[in-house]
Structure 1
Amino acid sequence: MTKPLAGLFRARQKDAAGPALYARGLRLCGEHLAGEGDASGGPQVRLTRAIGAFAAALDSPSADPFDALLQVGERALETGGERGLGLALGLAESSAAIRQRSKGAWRLRGLALDGLGRGDEALRCYEVYATLLGDAPAAPEVARRMDTLRRRRACLDEAVALFPEQGAGLAALLAGPTATTAAVEPGFAAFVRERLAEHGPGEPAVRRLLELYGRHRRLVEQSAVPDPLLGGTVPVGVSGLRGLVAGRTVCVVSNAGDVAAGSLGAEIDAYDLVVRCDGYRLRAEGTGERIGLHAVTLRGAAPWAEPAWARPAGVRLVFGDPAADWRRAVRTRLVPGAQEHVGDASLRRPLGDPALLGEGGWEAATTTAFTVLRLLDFLDASPRLDLIGFTLPGRLRAREAEWVMDRATHVDDSKMRIALR
């Protein structure tokens, strides 16, 4: 009876003896997923490609699967929702188990917990991340969230201390494993209503409690701003911007690869004001290095959740609509000291604002380069206004290119330059 069983066990051991073959199959599937193109480039597509890259890295001696794993977590964060955040948290916990001192793993873990409303746990992860950084500053979004979570917890602790006997239930909720934002918010609101009904609005402790509740609600809705003055950044409107560009030569530089690969860097940096758009990259020889004005257009459903604008610039103009999204993005993504001037609300939608250009027909997806170019042309304060890297079709939308070429005074294909003055 034992011989057939022994043969079965040997057969199964033989089947299980080739994990490398399975790993190769996983790598091939991963390479296929990672190489999938998609014009929309949405969060779910980026997550799928990141999963593919991680799968491919598992069987590639030259790749680092740990970094690929963290990238999957970052893309899962982008997808949001309970499933996306849950995946990000699971991957962050796995990453922290693999490398206990990984700053990226602890940052990812904090962001995932924060997104799930588990603020106290998120704060502890952020603090580990900050400790691992040593003397280096934390990422701006993490520093902002740490400050916000600490302020929120301080509001709750002070509220409990105002009414220690009646606050036992709220204190127990805060100390429990279900102390998520979704659970704490209605508990805090009920606590405030009960104290108001019990003592009346004239009681000083009740007035203070109402003040704490209002502050807590604001901090739940929007992160705190550690430095409301943004390190001395000066807001500018239309007249202020005109004063900053008056009499100066200006060029708007394309983010295209042929500009970066070229040799116009010195000529670009010779302009008085160099304008760069959105997520630009610098290569000194090709693009130059100066950043006199950075223009960015808010895109997507949650533009305030994108990375902070940390690269230094003389002037930063943020274009976006509606006003509430613009205010929230400016509040959360501007970094203190990263710009000397920032455009105020009067400059947030120059093409469609009837108080400024008020031109109809421009699409919501108008390129940032054209928006800032049209604004600078309207100000009519610069003796020279050039576009660099926009001579090829497709760099501007059809109507934008038509507008530019109708007003161009000179086109130099060898220098990829279109002059409007």
Structure 2
Amino acid sequence: MPRTSTSSCLRACADLRARLHEGRDGGLSAALDALPAKGGGDAAGLLDALLDVGRKAVDHGPAALPTALVVSAWVLTERSESRAGWLLRGRVLEAAGDTAGAVDAYERYLAQTDKDPFGLAEQLAPMAARARHEQGIAQALARAGRPVPVLGEPPQDVEAEAAALVEEQFAALASGVPSYDPAVLTGAAEHWAGLRRVRHGLPQPDPTLGGVEWVSAGGLRDLIAGRSICLVANSGSLGAGSLGPQIDSYDVVVRFNAFRIDAAATGTRTDVHVTSSRNPHNWGVRAGTRVIVTQKPETYRAAVRERLVPGAQERVGDNSLRWPVRDLGRVWSEVWPQTPTTGFNLMWLIDFLDVSPRFDLIGFDFLESGAYRLPEAMGQPASSPADHSDEKAWVMERAQHVNGLVTSLR
């Protein structure tokens, strides 16, 4: 990893900012605008600001990955043992297709902490296997004289190249042309099959074991029609309170991601668990309905295959519930530039369905009081209250009554 100066890092950030379109970047432009022009002043403040840029650049997609790579290199140049730096480095390399590099970065991150809020430890073994198969495919491609995928190409391109090489070698074998090479065919086939097993979880247990029901937006509407519903936030203010009995009195209790059960503060029932596809926690906790929220169809499918625990839920939200603000509401980034959070996707959806006579948000102070999650998830970086300003404004425009930690939308 090259040593990276502050000036070159800020120059890369400035170049990225010049290429971005307003209102389409999930807060990346705002994070870049917050950087000082020459990097002077508070060193800790600059570090935090660049880490924020790096995280948002990874979420933005391939066009911003080179800048995220530079930012991660700068952080680790300044602080070689930075946990946040190694975590960012791992995310960047994984997104860029350097699985082996991502495994190394994640191992360095885990070596410096006794907490694992992202569930990385259980992902390292399959990631290492994936790296081995990707390297085997690269060797087969090189032996066949075909272009080898390079850092920055999506991992699925490696799989596609291997499949094409296997087909090409079988065709050469059948026709007897000189391009057939037994070592190329066996190497490509072995590692292509291995990569598919690791990446797609094949073979895998059926997550619907026990007969789950797939629920669409219409099915969710039927489940909550005429019933009181509360959405329970994972906020510090809720954890310090005593609203548990009141929460359990609703007909439908909705919780999010790494929620923490405390009978006095948060109640005990979980009728609907709404979770980001990247959240590693609470998938095995019993819930009547589990809804997976994610932007991309492929990550939804991966979560269904790899995250769902057979028997832990009676119903699973289908693809129509995956990204409701954008997909159902057609609220595009031109209208709503901020990436909708898991919580906002659900509160928007319940408001849109408009079939519950009582609809309350409990503990939603939009991170002003910090987080109250499972202990192993408390190390997850939290966005600032400013990142949720639009969501808070949306709620207050629709609020009919506010009583302490309870905001009533119906």
- Tell me the TM-score normalized by structure 1: 0.53
Letter of the structure 2 residue corresponding to residue 387 of structure 1: F
1:310 to 273, 281, 284: 281
Partner of 1:75: 56
3-state SS in 2 of match to 1:140: coil
Partner of 2:246: 268
Partner of 2:119: 140
Instruction: Point out where structure 1 has 5 or more consecutive residues left out of the alignment.
Output: 1-25, 34-39, 161-165, 298-302, 353-361, 379-384, 402-410
Partner of 1:192: 166
- How many aligned positions are there? 329
Partner of 1:13: none
Indicate the structure with greater helix content: 1
Q: How does 1:269-308 map to 2 (within 5 A)?
A: 269-271=247-249, 275-276=253-254, 288=266, 290=268, 292-296=270-274, 307-308=278-279
3-state SS in 1 of match to 2:312: strand
2:312 to 340, 358, 367: 340
Bigger Rg over Cα: 1
Give the direction of change, closer, same or farther, for the CA distance of 1:118–1:371 in structure 2 (3 Å limit).
closer
Partner of 1:55: 36
Partner of 2:360: 388
Instruction: Point out where structure 2 has 5 or more consecutive residues left out of the alignment.
Output: 1-9, 176-180, 332-343, 363-391
Give the direction of change, closer, same or farther, for the CA distance of 1:199–1:367 in structure 2 (3 Å limit).
closer
Contact 2:258 2:282 in 1 (8 A): no
1:151 to 130, 140, 165: 130
Q: How does 1:52-201 map to 2 (within 5 A)?
A: 52-55=33-36, 58-60=40-42, 64-82=45-63, 84-133=64-113, 136-137=115-116, 139-140=118-119, 143-144=122-123, 147-148=126-127, 150-151=129-130, 153-154=132-133, 157=136, 169=143, 181=155, 188-189=162-163, 191-200=165-174
Q: CA deviation at 1:93?
A: 0.9
Partner of 2:341: none
Give the direction of change, closer, same or farther, for the CA distance of 1:140–1:102 in structure 2 (3 Å limit).
same
Take 1:193 and 1:77, find their aligned partners in 2: how far apart are those partners?
34
Contact 2:51 2:71 in 1 (8 A): yes
Give the direction of change, closer, same or farther, for the CA distance of 1:106–1:332 in structure 2 (3 Å limit).
farther
Q: Within the alignment, does 1:252 sit opposite 2:230 as a pair?
A: yes
Q: CA deviation at 1:144?
A: 3.7
Take 2:59 and 2:45, find their aligned partners in 1: how far apart are those partners?
22
Contact 1:264 1:287 in 2 (8 A): yes
Take 1:387 and 1:283, find their aligned partners in 2: how far apart are those partners?
21
Contact 2:141 2:162 in 1 (8 A): no
Give the direction of change, closer, same or farther, for the CA distance of 1:262–1:131 in structure 2 (3 Å limit).
closer
2:303 to 309, 326, 330: 330
Q: CA deviation at 1:334?
A: 3.9
Contact 1:119 1:149 in 2 (8 A): yes
- Tell me the TM-score normalized by structure 2: 0.54
Give the direction of change, closer, same or farther, for the CA distance of 1:195–1:110 in structure 2 (3 Å limit).
same
Q: How does 1:186-265 map to 2 (within 5 A)?
A: 188-189=162-163, 191-200=165-174, 210=189, 212-214=191-193, 216=195, 224=201, 235-237=212-214, 251-253=229-231, 265=243
After superposition, the CA RMSD in angstroms is 6.0
Percent identity over the alignment is 18
Q: CA deviation at 1:168?
A: 7.1
User: Which one is further off, 362-371 or 90-99?
Assistant: 362-371
Contact 1:277 1:295 in 2 (8 A): yes
